[in-house]
Amino acid sequence: MSRQSVNCEEMFRALEAFRKKNGHCQVQANWKENPQLGRWVAMQRYRRKIGELLPSHIARLDKLGFVWSPTDIGWDQMFEKLIQFKKRRGHCDVPSVWADDPQLASWVANQRHRKKTGTLMPDRAKRLEDLGFAWALYGRKKMDMPTAGKVTANPVPVVSPVAEERLYHLSGEYVQHNGVAPLPPKLEKFVQQHRGEYPPYIPLPRGALTFIIQDETSAKGRKLKWKGQGPVPELVREYINENGILPQHS
C-alpha cells in the first residue's frame, strides 16, 4: 500500500472520529486541532470539482454525510423540513400559502419553478422525486390547501405603493424588486408573457438584517449586513441562487 493510500485512510479515520464527536463533517480549513484534516477535507471538494476523485471515494465520503459545498447545508435543511411535513401529512403537497411555515412553502414553489426552467440540479430533483414530490399539482386532489376565501394559487404580488422587498426567481437567478419602483426588465418581460402572473418569490424581512453564511474558515460563519433596502449583498444573492432560501439572518 502506498504512503498516499495510508494517509488517505488516516484522514478517513480522522474524519469519522470528527463526525462521531461533532455530528457532522464540516471541518474548517484552518481547524487548529488538526490542520492536516482541515486541508484534506478542502482538497476533497476541490478534487471532486475538477473530476479527480474516484466514484468509490465519493461514495465513501457521501456515506459519512460529507458536505461538498457549504451552500448545500441550506437546501438540505429545507429538504429535511419537507421530510417531516410528509411524515405528518403523508404527502409533499405543501400549500403555496401556508402560515405555519412560509419559508417551506416558498422553497417548495421554487423547486417546482427551478425544475420547469431547467435550473434544478439533477441530484436534487431525484431526491425530491424519491420522496414522492409532485412537480405539477394541476388535476391532483387538493390536500391541506387553504380554505375558501384564501389564495389557493402561488402568490401573485401586485405592485403597490407599500414597499416590500422580494426576490423573484427567473431562469436560475433571483431578481429583486421593492414593489414600488418600475419593474426590472426581466421581471416585466416575464409578467407580460404570463398575462400578469408573477414568478415564485422569496420575501425579504423588513428592516436591517445581518446575514450569516457558513464557510470553511470560521465556525461562526461570515456576517454580511443589509440595511433593509436596496440590493442584498452579492454573496447573499449567490447563496439564494444556489439554495432557493435566505441564509441564516438576525
Domain boundaries, the chain: 3-63, 71-200
- What cell numbers appear for 24 in the block? 457532522
- What cell numbers appear for 106 in the block? 416558498
Whether 233 and 250 have beta carbons less than 8 Å apart is answered as no
pLDDT digits (tens, 9 = 90+) for 177-224: 888 888 888 888 887 887 777 777 788 888 898 988 876 555 567 888
Q: What is the DSSP letter of 136?
A: -
Q: Name the packing angle between helices 72-89 and 122-130 (round to 10°).
A: 20
Cα–Cα distance between 206 and 209 in angstroms, integer? Answer: 8
Asked which of 59-63, 157-161, 181-185, 195-199 is least confident by mean pLDDT, the reply is 157-161
Sequence-distant (≥ 6) Cβ neighbours of residue 250 within 8 angstroms: 209, 210, 212
Q: What is the DSSP letter of 132?
A: T
Nearest Cα to 158, choosing from 128, 198, 193, 199? 198
Please, what is the average pLDDT of the chain? 78
* Most distant pair of Cα atoms in the chain: their distance: 70
- What cell numbers appear for 140 in the block? 391532483
What pLDDT sits at residue 248? 82
pLDDT band with cut points at 50, 70 and 90 for residue 162: very low
For residue 160, the cross-strand partners are none
The amino acid present at 202, given as its one-letter code, is: I
Verdict on whether the full-model pTM lies above 0.75: no
Cα–Cα distance between 35 and 28 in angstroms, integer? Answer: 9
